[in-house]
Amino acid sequence: MILGAHESTAGGLHLAFERGARDRADAIQLWTRSSRQWAAKPLDPESVAAFRSAHAATGKDPIPTAAHATYLINLAAPDDAVRGRSIDTLVEECERAEALGVGQVIVHPGAALDGGRAEGVARVGSALKTICGRIDRRARVRLLLEITAGQGSCVGCSFEELAEMLSRAGEARLGVCLDTQHMYAVGIDWTTPRGYDETFAAFERVIGFAHLEAFHLNDSKKPLGGRVDRHERIGDGVIGLAPFARLVGDPRFATLPGYLETPPLASGDESYAEGLRRLRSLV
């Protein structure tokens, strides 16, 4: 696995690569806009040029990159206005990523809110089809659905729901990002040898490895099946180190990026350098 982290863009998008080099990250995830606001300042040519230059300077052909979409997006919303705004915003996220040369946009599918999970999944599929139809066919950016932790009425917390979304959209641009903490939270126990084999056999059967394009690497503050999205530093949570040794050393995932999204150290410093060191020590 290509090990990386979600780096800060404070002071400029291009600085994510400087911070990644500090942490020895070989893949970079970032926000290209606020994670909690609908409005976003347009990208200016100078920022785009600085980002592309810093990316090229990584010298690794270049290293994999992903943009995490804003948390406000809800493609499963029953309200047409909210869903429409979410579609517009995700199209914009993809256009920003394409302008910067970022390879992936990773998005949480959303919440049904009205309690109708099947209807929520169908709305996501329809929204994704619309979004892909609005993105320039020449664009190279990939749009990845992230498995969710199963909190509330959030959809996309099972392989079956993700597969249904992909099927309904019917678009080649789409893929999947598996978050280790979210899987654990929803009750997918990938942490034992037997559970690991069963988990990825089920993924291959239901979705297919051809659709798996990234991982989020997070330990968990909460127990198996807690259905709460609470990340912990690698090795400091209830998952522990051993399961990550199986995952990051799995040859099936050798070419996929895995991005840390772990909370900071007690000192307030980022935990990514230590997390990446721990993961590499397992391989």
Express each pLDDT in 217-267 by its tens digit.
999 999 999 999 999 999 999 999 999 999 999 999 999 999 999 999 999
The two structure tokens encoding residue 106: 């990773």
User: Which amino acid is present at 179?
Assistant: D
- Determine contact, residues 279/245, Cβ cutoff 8 Å: no
DSSP state of 253: G
Q: Average pLDDT of 42-52? A: 97
| Cα angle, residue 68 at apex, residues 187 and 24 outer, rounded to 5° | 90
pLDDT band at 271 (very low <50, low <70, confident <90, very high): very high
Q: Judge whether residue 155 has pLDDT over 90.
A: yes
Give pLDDT, residue 167. Answer: 98
Cα separation, 239 vs 242, whole angstroms: 8
Q: How far is CA 76 from the centre of its chain?
A: 18
Q: Judge whether residue 18 has pLDDT over 90.
A: yes
Q: 10 Å Cβ neighbour count for 111?
A: 20
Domains of the chain by start residue, with CATH = 2-282 (3.20.20.150)
Express each pLDDT in 101-135 by its tens digit.
999 999 999 999 986 999 999 999 999 999 999 99
From residue 115, how far is each of 118, 121, 155, 206, 235 by CA, in Å? 9, 11, 10, 24, 35
Residues belonging to the active site: 36, 68, 71, 108, 146, 179, 182, 216, 229, 231, 261
Express each pLDDT in 181-214 by its tens digit.
999 999 999 999 999 999 999 999 999 999 999 9
pLDDT band at 61 (very low <50, low <70, confident <90, very high): confident
